[in-house]
Amino acid sequence: MLKKLCPQFQNIPSLDCESCQFAKHHRSTTKPRVNKRVESIFELVHSDVWGPCPVVSKTGHKYFVTFVDDFSQM
């Protein structure tokens, strides 16, 4: 892409830096989940991490973690 935006870079043989190569990679898709529900609590737990938060908590924490049990949806 850089060579297309800046034609003067056409003569530079090595524009294959690690960041350029990483940017060209494609994300692999995840397989769709079968509509089978889990049969007991804690069989499948989803988690998510958010942060760093721009406002630090009173205890000095900057990240927020959530856990959701797939069976109970809580």
Query: Which regions in the chain score pLDDT beneath 70?
Result: 1-16, 22, 33
* Every domain of the chain and the residues it spans: 38-74
E strand or H helix at 22: helix 18-24
* pLDDT at residue 50, as a whole number: 93
- Who contacts 72 (Cβ-Cβ below 8 Å, separation ≥6)? 41
Q: Could you give the CA distance from residue 52 to residue 69 in angstroms, rounded to a whole number?
A: 24
- Residue 34: strand, helix, or coil: coil
Residue 46 sits at φ, ψ, to 5 deg, of: -95, 145
Report yes or no: 35 and 44 within 8 Å, Cβ to Cβ. Answer: no
